[in-house]
Amino acid sequence: MLLGRCDGLCYEVRPTMPKKAAKNKPQPTRSEWAAVRGSQIHGRGMFAKKTIPKGTRVIEYTGERITKAEGWRRELARQERAGRGADGCIYIFELNTKVDIDGSVRWNTARYINHSCEPNCESQVVRGRVWIVAIREIGPGDELSYDYYYDYEHYHEHPCRCGAKSCAGYIVKAPLRWRVRHAARKGKKKGARQAP
């Protein structure tokens, strides 16, 4: 996993950048299906502009291709920033056993898609490219989401605000959410026993 700044400004082309360099910067990816706006879940999100049929490739998750070692280096830097109180948004996508994608670049519009415990999209790797694909029909105005597939380790560092009925309270991959719920139940029982 990697990091990036949540405000999405860290890779903005600065006015001082030479014109030629600015011209060579990739343009932000666009989707005919969805657009970015403020989200109730977190910061900004992506929302359906019209009905999106199930199976549609909505947008590509793109970014800088980096080695695992570099991915870890950036992740550690993110954790350090988060520890200092900065918003430690994660943008690293684990493509395979050798390569990660750092999606924190400004041209990766898909970086705005938030996590949900009841997602309407999923990420699919097709010939080395990552696509965000609708897993059911999505209505106009609905926020797009997918399962970030975070591990159980350090789950308490990633509270989830997806608002879904079945929300586990933390961003953890679906197959491991039972462990989060189990830990919460155990915690409650322990608390009850300690009560006077």
Ligand X SMILES: C[S@@+](CC[C@H](N)C(=O)[O-])C[C@H]1O[C@@H](n2cnc3c(N)ncnc32)[C@H](O)[C@@H]1O
- Distant-in-sequence, close-in-space partners of 76: CB < 8 Å, separation ≥ 6: none
Which residue in the set 133, 134, 160, 172 belongs to the binding site for Zn ion (CB under 5 A)? 160
The residues in 57-86 that bind Zn ion, with binding defined as CB under 5 A, are none
Interface positions, 77-136, toward Zn ion (CB under 5 A): 117
- Taking CB under 6 A as the criterion, the residue among 25, 42, 68, 173 binding ligand X is 42
Q: Pick from 2, 114, 120, 132 the residue near ligand X by CB under 6 A.
A: 114
Q: Decide whether 52 or 75 has the Cβ nearer to ligand X.
A: 75
Core vs surface per residue 40-62: b (16+ CB within 10 A) or e:
ebbebbbbbeeebeeebebbbbb
Q: Which residues of 131-154 are buried (b: 16+ CB within 10 A; e: fewer)?
A: bbbbeeebeeeebbbbbbbbeeee
| From 52, 105, 160, 172, residue interacting with ligand X (rule: CB under 6 A) | 160
162 part of the interface to ligand X, by CB under 6 A:
yes
- Residues 47-106, interacting with ligand X (CB under 6 A): 89-91
Tokens found for residue 168 = 């586990």
**To which residue do tokens 């915690």 refer?**
187
Smallest gap from Cβ 133 to ligand X, in A, equals: 17
Contact 44, 113 (CB under 8 A): no
Looking at the Cβ atoms of 130 and 162, the one nearer to Zn ion is 162
